[in-house]
Amino acid sequence: MAATSTSPLFSLSSLSASLPSPTRLPATLSLRALSPRTRLSVSLPFASPHGVYGAWAAMSTSSAGRLRRRGLEVVCEAATGRRPDSVAKRERQNEKHRIRNHARKAEMRTRMKKVFRALEKLRKKADAQPEEIIEIEKMISEAYKAIDKTVQVGALHRNTGNHRKSRLARRKKAIEILRGWYVPNAEPVAAT
């Protein structure tokens, strides 16, 4: 069927007068002239920009039906060009958490490096004393605290945190064994 005659197009003001007034108008309305013989099989529910089909949809179907009989199709789009506030808030939160997580991870890595450097220095030192390990144990304790904080806030998986703490402990124990300050298979002497 060829479209030979079309109904005249109405202005947006006359169209908005025939539609019930919603709480918030859609962003764009476009009108298309159709042939009077053309049959529309598409239902045109009107929705608010929030995606809620409520009283406006129920009231607008009769107006849409009148416009369909006149040969007009109403296309409603809710493209306002701005995202919902919840998306913007989530982006702000993600950025804040990213910065905070990065700072925690950086602190953890710094403390681990300090421990590794101190242990390496102790390993290379010729006249090392067993009392020097006490200062390194304090540094290890601070590194453990930083690792535990990073795991607690969720910036690091708990298995990864345990792995890193284990690396620190193994490296310390290797130095103690090398220096002879710790014997792995020594039986404790029973006090009599």
pLDDT at 180: 87
Tell me phi and psi for residue 100, to 5 degrees.
-65, -45
pLDDT at 182: 86
pLDDT at 183: 84
In the chain, the percentage of residues whose pLDDT exceeds 70 is 55
pLDDT at 138: 97
pTM above 0.85, yes or no: no
**CATH code matching the domain that covers 87-179, chosen among 3.30.1130.10, 3.90.550.10, 3.30.200.210, 1.20.58.110:** 1.20.58.110
Residue ranges in the chain modelled with pLDDT below 50? 6-8, 10, 23, 25-31, 34, 36, 38-48, 52-62
pLDDT at 84: 87
CB atoms within 10 A of CB 97: 13
pLDDT at 31: 46
Residues shown for the chain: 192
The 3-state DSSP class for residue 72 equals strand
Q: How far is CA 149 from CA 107, 142, 161, in A?
A: 10, 11, 10
